[in-house]
Amino acid sequence: MSRAVIVVLDGFGVGAMPDADAHRPGDAAADTLGHLLDHHRAATGHRLPLPTLEALGLGFVHPHPGLSRRPSLPVAAGRAALGYPGADTYAGHQTMVGADFSRVAVARLAGHLDEVAAALRANGHNTDDLGGRPLLVVDGQILVHDNLEADPGVNWNVSGRLEDVSFTEVLRIARVVRSVAPVARVIAVGGHADAPLRTFVREGALGTVGLDTPASGFYRNGGLAVQHLGTPLDHARRLPELAAGAGVPVTLLGKAADVLACDAAVCRPAVDTTEVFALTLDALRGAPDTALIVSNVQETDLAGHQQDAPRYACVLQQADTGLSALLPLLSSPGDRLIVTGDHGNDPVIGHAFHTREYVPVLIHRPEATRPDRLPAARTLADVGATAAVALGLGATALDRGTPLPWPTAGSAGVPG
């Protein structure tokens, strides 16, 4: 019997992966946590207090002078590589629950225009370019283009102005694009724009071209319709469905409720960090002896996108307080609190995109007698596999992931 609670601090990286500069050379210096701690000390003259995260081993994972290196709780602490291309919340969460995203590509639409246009024409649609720019105008009304709000090449959008077409038609075209797209997500978007959509086409980062969705008025004019079409998944081999199929109650909270949508789960979306932890506490208090809860703290990621280090620090402190409230409710042998991330989002890197960083893996184990070091995980899928084992499920039933091994008796613990 075990209750496994996974808390995802969205956009919480602990240092650049070796290939972080593959698309943006400056990202080789990405370090969300380190830069956040440095910025806070420079701005305030004081270290950023994160007592719960330090007790869970954060300073061991990231040996920064602003963090204690001695965990005070019985934890196993380490870090994980992402295990999927790029740095994306959707791919990160799917990987974390055992889906195999290792073969998903980061690709600009420009490199696949002919293939996408051929698929659309085969389904009875007309396609044109827009003055030679690398995007498609379908049936004279709907744009197929790079997503300019996510990391370049991670997602493509299919956008339609609802004054001109129905969202049903936008979605129909998006499904055709999805059938040939190598990227993690094709996002169908319909909204009320201030002018024809071609008016708002602009160049993005790294040679992308697409619709400036915020400028179009979609977000402020009401009636926005969005549907995310992810790469095909075997949902039966994801952790939420695996747990639910074994009779384990599953609760998805915050952004996890949207990203990991599972028919068998209780799903409660929320953005406010305090609300996310209040929902997590309520779910934990009402949980039976065996349960899976996955919560996402989204406001860390939002602060990174806004390049707002003070806000990021404030949200991280709120999360630290929220984690401290969870720990007393996870005191039975076998219970697990797993704190991790899905990618980085360095708030001082100088751009508004995700950063490809390692993420922490901090696992509270009430039955342990000391803190221990975990080996580096090659993929976030190992987090899901570890939670599966804690719940008494077979990790091999997941599409991907290997349970993280606890240190053997007599091995060295976390140094002081």
Looking at residue 30, its pLDDT comes to 97
pLDDT, tens digit (0-9, with 9 covering 90-100), for 364-378: 999 999 999 999 999
Residue 414: the pLDDT is 53
Lowest mean pLDDT among 57-61, 192-196, 205-209: 205-209
pLDDT greater than 80 at residue 190? yes
Which residue ranges does the chain devote to CATH 3.40.720.10?
3-104+233-397
Q: Give tens-digit pLDDT for 58-89.
A: 999 999 999 998 899 999 999 999 999 989 99
Residue 185 has pLDDT above 50, yes or no: yes
Q: For the chain, give the longest Cα–Cα distance.
A: 69
* pLDDT tens digit sequence for 334-347: 999 999 999 999 99
Model confidence over 292-334: pLDDT tens digits? 999 999 999 999 999 999 999 999 999 999 999 999 999 999 9
**DSSP per-residue codes, 172-210:** HHHHHHHHH--SSEEEEEEE--SS-GGGGEEE-GGG-EE
Residue 90: strand, helix, or coil: helix
Smallest Cα–Cα separation from 26: which of 214, 196, 216, 206?
206
pLDDT at 382 over 50: yes
Name which of 122-136, 152-166, 307-321, 396-410 the model is least confident about. Answer: 396-410
pLDDT at 223 over 80: yes
pLDDT, tens digit, for every residue of 224-274? 999 989 888 888 899 999 999 999 999 999 999 989 989 999 999 999 999
Overall fold of domain 3-104+233-397: Alkaline Phosphatase, subunit A (3.40.720)
- Predicted pLDDT of residue 408: 47
pLDDT at 336: 97
Length of the chain: 416
Taking the C-alpha atoms of residue 24 and residue 152, their distance in angstroms, rounded to an integer, is 10
pLDDT confidence tier of residue 410, bands split at 50, 70 and 90: very low
pLDDT of residue 142: 98
What confidence category does residue 416 fall into, taking pLDDT thresholds of 50, 70 and 90? very low
Q: What is the pLDDT of residue 413?
A: 56
C-alpha distances in Å from residue 343, one per residue of 9, 14, 243: 9, 9, 25
What count of other Cβ atoms lies within 10 Å of the Cβ of residue 394? 11
Rounded Cα–Cα distance for residues 258 and 229 (Å): 12
Task: Indicate if the alpha-carbon torsion angle 88, 92, 94, 99 is positive or negative.
Answer: positive
pLDDT of 411 reads 44
- Report the amino acid identity of residue 15: G
Confidence of residue 150 (pLDDT cuts 50, 70, 90): confident
The answer, yes or no, to whether residue 409 has pLDDT greater than 50, is no
CB of 407 closer than 8 Å to CB of 413: yes
Nearest to 383 by CA among 5, 33, 3: 5
**Mean pLDDT value across the chain:** 94
- DSSP class of residue 123 equals T
Amino acid 23: pLDDT: 76
Global pTM value = 0.87
Section 274-292 average pLDDT: 97
DSSP β-bridge partners for residue 136: 144
